[in-house]
């Protein structure tokens, strides 16, 4: 598969089969993620791979949080669906910002550095998703873990900022592409 094939064929997968994902494939995804570019090559990404009981524990934390926030209906509708898919995914990869606890920078600078680190981590997540596509795995990038970031971090012994999670498994659906704006509508080009 070439890169453009992987980019065009990737979809967010929210239904997974029960099949176990071989550890070697997860390792390949993680290795690909570490090849992403990063600001001053800081490589701020940190990953925690969850399967089995630990995964269930983390999902249960988010489920509890979503129930407690149920009065915020708009926010919670997507979050509840997200917890369901997390339960069915055999593997969950938590993505942390390993540089988020560094001190010694004055505030404006630390804000800029944080933005650059989060951009770098976004690039590593997308690289991981494209590698998974090539490997025949389904993935979905999950931002809703933010709702319980601190508690999820505690559950896996991390004090760093939780950025996102990626659910991984073998696809049990083949969704149509979600609509995109044309590149011409989102681009200004000065020639």
- Rounded to whole angstroms, the Cα distance separating 112 from 116 reads 6
Q: What is the dihedral of CA 111, 101, 89, 177, to 10 degrees?
A: 20
Neighbours of 180 (CB within 10 A): 8
- Out of 71, 73, 103, 178, the residue judged to bind ligand FMN by CB under 6 A: 178
The residue (of 25 and 146) whose beta carbon lies closer to ligand FMN is 146
Residue pair 9/129 in contact by the 8 Å Cβ criterion? no
Position 136 contacts ligand FMN (CB under 6 A): no
- Of 51-59, 63-71, 113-121, 142-150, the window that binds ligand FMN (rule: CB under 6 A) is 142-150
The residue (of 88 and 102) whose beta carbon lies closer to ligand FMN is 88
In the shown chain, the binding pattern of residues 17 to 56 toward ligand FMN, with x for contact by CB under 6 A and - for none, equals ----------------------------------------
Position 143 contacts ligand FMN (CB under 6 A): yes
Residue 124 tokens read as 């590593």
The residue (of 82 and 161) whose beta carbon lies closer to ligand FMN is 82
- Distance, CA of 23 to chain centre: 18
With a CB cutoff of 8 Å and minimum separation 6, the contacts of 121 are 44, 45, 95, 97, 163, 164
Position 82 contacts ligand FMN (CB under 6 A): yes
Give the residue at shortest CB distance from ligand FMN.
Answer: 143
The residue (of 99 and 164) whose beta carbon lies closer to ligand FMN is 164
- Of 10-18, 52-60, 65-73, 98-106, the window that binds ligand FMN (rule: CB under 6 A) is 10-18
**Full DSSP string of 82-147:** HHHHHHH-SEEEEEEETTTT---S-HHHHHHHHHHHHHHHHHHHHHHHHHHHHTT-EEEEE-GGGG
Please give the size of the binding site for ligand FMN, defined by CB under 6 A: 11
Residues of this chain that bind ligand FMN (CB under 6 A):
11-12, 14, 78, 82, 140-144, 178
């Amino acid at each position: 598969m070439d890169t453009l094939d992987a980019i065009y064929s990737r979809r967010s997968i929210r239904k997974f089969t029960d099949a176990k994902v071989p550890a070697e494939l997860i390792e390949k995804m993680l290795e690909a993620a570490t090849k992403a570019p990063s600001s001053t090559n800081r490589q701020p990404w940190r990953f925690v791979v969850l399967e089995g009981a630990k995964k269930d524990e983390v999902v249960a934390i988010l489920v509890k949080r979503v129930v407690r926030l149920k009065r915020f209906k708009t926010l919670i509708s997507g979050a509840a669906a997200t917890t369901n898919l997390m339960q069915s995914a055999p593997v969950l990869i938590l993505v942390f910002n390993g540089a988020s606890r560094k001190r010694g920078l004055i505030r404006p600078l630390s804000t800029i550095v944080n933005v650059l680190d989060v951009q770098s981590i976004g690039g590593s997540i997308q690289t991981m998703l494209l590698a998974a596509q090539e490997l025949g795995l389904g993935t979905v990038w999950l931002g809703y873990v933010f709702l319980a970031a601190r508690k999820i971090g505690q559950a896996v012994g991390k004090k760093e900022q939780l950025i996102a999670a990626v659910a991984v498994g073998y696809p049990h659906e083949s969704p149509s592409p979600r609509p995109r704006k044309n590149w011409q509508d989102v681009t200004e080009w000065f020639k």
